[in-house]
Amino acid sequence: MPDISLHFKIILVLCNEYSKIIKIIRPKICITPQFSNVEALAFILACKKYNVATMDIQHGRQTNYHPAYTNWTNIPLGGYKMLPDVFLVWSNKEASMIRESNNKKDQHYPIVIGNVWLNKFLQENEFSRYYDKIINLALKKKAKRKINVLYTAQNSSLPDFIYKAMRLDDDLLWWIRLHPRFLKIGVEIKSNINRIGVDNCIIDLCQELPLPALLRNIDVHVTLNSTVVEDALKFGIRSVGIHSIIMKTFEMEFNQGDVILANNEAELLVGVYEQYGKYKNAVKNETGNYNGAIDQLLSFFT
């Protein structure tokens, strides 16, 4: 169990430091991604002291199972002091969930802005094609591979059966994307890949490129439980999960066959080819009423 009293003491100390900055620069709006860590909670608390509007910008998947974004059934008059005033979300799905969880509709409310960064790569433009060229150069060096598989790592290294799958099928080219907060596990992954003596994977380039640039160019996605499952579907890419938790996190996608589960190397390889054989049309710019969102955001400056 976390020491709640210790966390609250840390929040108060950080709040005092943030207050000094806010008092000097006097911002109208302060935005934070994923407000539920102690640093962000302290930041929001400091903003509330000076009547600065606070916003949380969506960082990953938000579902009814996410404790930070649901079930606020007893919001006090004036709202919570460590909950953002506004939640900037990707789609009406997240907005509806927040509205349903909120018993004070005029506080802690959502504004749909869409996933602007992802949408930029869903479009055919000079920006997205710039990254396509970089990836195509890498693919030429691995030309004999037939299927590009993106593995999105989280806070742990690859399970052993991923390495076994690499050795069993040389037609697959594995793109290993590390979580930005856990880049150190890349050392272990590279060591293991050198140990098993395979060359059907790309690691360093995956950390240099934006994730959506990779999604434009891969065929199948594999993960433990990453929100990239949802991003990949926008590009027509299906996923294979390697932990049963994914069946709950992505319950709808699992029931539709957009996500399937693999528990060993044999199931993984079958799953990769099964998901590769499916195709789902990418949804172009399906989220975000940008004009309406901009109007709502500008209202905070008036």
Structure confidence by residue, pLDDT tens digits, 98-155: 888 776 667 898 999 888 889 889 988 899 999 999 998 888 877 666 899 999 998 8
CA–CA distance from 274 to each of 32, 75, 220, 257, 262 (Å)?
Answer: 39, 46, 9, 10, 12
Q: Please enumerate in sequence order all residues whose Cβ is within 8 A of that of 132, keeping only pairs 6 or more positions apart, or say none.
A: 213, 216, 217
- Residue ranges making up the domain that contains 106: 4-114+287-301
What pLDDT, on a 0 to 100 scale, did the predictor assign at position 286? Answer: 53
Report yes or no on 152 lying in a domain: yes
Q: Which residues sit opposite 88 in a β-bridge?
A: 57, 111
What pLDDT, on a 0 to 100 scale, did the predictor assign at position 93? Answer: 86
Q: With pLDDT > 70 as the criterion, what percentage of the chain qualifies?
A: 91
What pLDDT, on a 0 to 100 scale, did the predictor assign at position 295? Answer: 73
Report yes or no on 228 lying in a domain: yes
Report yes or no on 119 lying in a domain: no
What pLDDT, on a 0 to 100 scale, did the predictor assign at position 280? Answer: 62
What pLDDT, on a 0 to 100 scale, did the predictor assign at position 279? Answer: 67
Are 244 and 267 part of one and the same domain?
yes
Of 75, 18, 25, 4, whose CA–CA distance to 49 is shortest?
18
What CATH number should be reported for the domain holding residue 187?
A: 3.40.50.2000
Are 135 and 266 part of one and the same domain?
yes
* pLDDT-flagged residues of the chain (< 70): 1-2, 65, 103-105, 143-145, 279-292, 294, 300-302
- Quick: pLDDT tens for 190-221: 999 999 998 899 999 999 999 999 999 999 99
What pLDDT, on a 0 to 100 scale, did the predictor assign at position 249? Answer: 87
Q: Which residues sit opposite 109 in a β-bridge?
A: 86
Are 109 and 199 part of one and the same domain?
no
Are 148 and 269 part of one and the same domain?
yes
The domain tally of the chain equals 2
Are 141 and 196 part of one and the same domain?
yes
What pLDDT, on a 0 to 100 scale, did the predictor assign at position 185? Answer: 86
Are 222 and 179 part of one and the same domain?
yes
What pLDDT, on a 0 to 100 scale, did the predictor assign at position 283? Answer: 61
Report yes or no on 281 lying in a domain: no
What pLDDT, on a 0 to 100 scale, did the predictor assign at position 155? Answer: 81
CB 262 within 8 A of CB 240: yes
Are 55 and 162 part of one and the same domain?
no
